[in-house]
Amino acid sequence: DGEDLFCIGCGAQIQTTDQTAPGYTPKSALEKGLASGELYCQRCFRLRHYNEIVPVGLTDDDFLRLLTQIQDANALIVYVVDIFDFNGSIIPGLHRFVGDNPVLLVGNKEDLLPQSLKRSKLRDWLRQRANEQGLRPVDVALLSAKTNHSVDQFLQKVDKYRGDRDVYIVGVTNVGKSTLINQIIRQNTGARDVITTSRFPGTTLDKIEIPLGDDHVLVDTPGIIHQSQMAHFLTGKDLKIVAPQKQIKPKVYQLNDQQTIFLAGVARFDYVSGPKHGFTIFVENNLPLHRTKLANADEFYDKHVGDLLTPPNSADNDLPPLTRHEFKITEKSDLVFEGLGWITVPAGTVVAGYAPAGVGVVVRKAMI
Ligand code: GDP
């Protein structure tokens, strides 16, 4: 059962039970690997054979150890966030571990945001959000790892700021870190040059090193799992429906107070009090939206969840119950449903956001 067996790529202990943890190997591959005398975990196998990095999850303790390593390194830290899910991208306490190391902030998934949104404004906005976390990035790069947009410019920035240092790429899972690393490998090196043998001392973590041309390397670190992301509450199929795939076309709803909008069956917005106003919704273009009177909303949900309001796909689903969060809005803000999107709300209103218990609902300064 994989006990006392180790991946010859990364050194992680082989296990066959948890696909998201280090050392995972499907049972069938384990037998083949043993027979051939070349036993790789699934992650290293894919890297070797398909030039592809598979994300791996970390426990909080592992992650703390990883951050401590970064603290001791002399490195440029590339901090990758998902601009569509900034709150879900935050690495708690990162600022305490960066020390004197410069941080390059990377806003990924630029392709999802409307073209009309000025990129310089977006960079400023990202910088402000980083400052709120106690980070002072030397620069902010916007890119799309998926479409390869601005990846070259990002690599130029890396060269500019790293000087005589290694580069550590950090990010929580789902921000697109693996997609970005795969782009870099495809463009700049071959899989052959990538080193997977080193690991974080004292842990089972593998790190992946990509040579940068001089004696220095780019290090891919495993991503911490951010439990409040919507991604952890939905099945793969439902996640495809709620997670934006293409550039978002914002939708404006003119609402009177005491009206409700359902975002499929996974979230709900109540306009509690304030004057008639336009509310702009930024979610996956095909996510079904339904307007009702607030007074009827509970009943409407109970009746229609799983049919009119999908996902989820049935009334008896595993989704935690929707939980209410009320906010008094004093400046133009975004009411964010983590991982799902946001609604821009005007000053002088009271609103409530609902999401499955455990998924964050927060208010931030409006992006647009
Ligand atoms: P990781 O966990 O941070 O390594 O994230 P992945 O690279 O596995 O990506 C998570 C999800 O985000 C996948 O569904 C990717 O297809 C998607 N993704 C990654 N980069 C981009 C991007 O630039 N734009 C968009 N729209 N999606 C992206």
Domain ranges of the chain: 1-49, 57-226, 232-365
Indicate whether residue 223 lines ligand 1 (CB < 6 A).
yes
Indicate whether residue 173 lines ligand 1 (CB < 6 A).
yes
Residue among 244, 217, 185, 223 at smallest CA distance from 80 = 223
- Separation of CA 282 and ligand 1 centre (Å): 18
Query: Tens of pLDDT along the chain (368 residues)?
Result: 446 788 776 667 888 988 877 788 998 888 888 888 778 888 777 766 665 555 555 566 667 777 788 888 899 999 999 999 898 888 878 888 888 899 999 999 999 998 888 999 999 999 999 999 899 999 999 999 999 999 999 999 999 999 989 999 988 878 888 889 888 887 776 555 555 433 333 334 456 777 777 788 888 877 666 666 676 677 767 877 888 889 999 999 999 999 999 999 999 999 999 999 999 999 999 999 999 999 999 999 999 999 999 988 877 777 889 999 999 999 999 999 988 999 999 999 999 999 998 888 999 999 88
Which residue has a Cα nearest atom 10 of ligand 1? Answer: 174
Ligand 1 pocket, mutate which of 89, 90, 179, 206 (most atoms under 8 A from CB): 179
Question: Which atom of ligand 1 approaches the CA of 244 most closely?
Answer: 26
Ligand 1 pocket, mutate which of 79, 84, 174 (most atoms under 8 A from CB): 174
The predicted pLDDT at position 10 comes to 65
The predicted pLDDT at position 6 comes to 82
The predicted pLDDT at position 1 comes to 47
The predicted pLDDT at position 358 comes to 83
The predicted pLDDT at position 197 comes to 39
- Separation of CA 146 and ligand 1 centre (Å): 7
* Predicted structure pTM score: 0.80
Indicate whether residue 174 lines ligand 1 (CB < 6 A).
yes
Kindly state the tokens that stand for 309.
């309001």
Question: Which atom of ligand 1 approaches the CA of 182 most closely?
Answer: 7
ipTM entry: 0.99
The predicted pLDDT at position 96 comes to 85
Indicate whether residue 171 lines ligand 1 (CB < 6 A).
yes
The predicted pLDDT at position 50 comes to 62
Kindly state the tokens that stand for 84.
């569509």
Question: Which atom of ligand 1 approaches the CA of 149 most closely?
Answer: 23
Which residue has a Cα nearest atom 22 of ligand 1? Answer: 109
Indicate whether residue 111 lines ligand 1 (CB < 6 A).
yes
Domain 57-226: which CATH number of 1.10.645.10, 1.10.540.10, 3.90.600.10, 3.40.50.300: 3.40.50.300
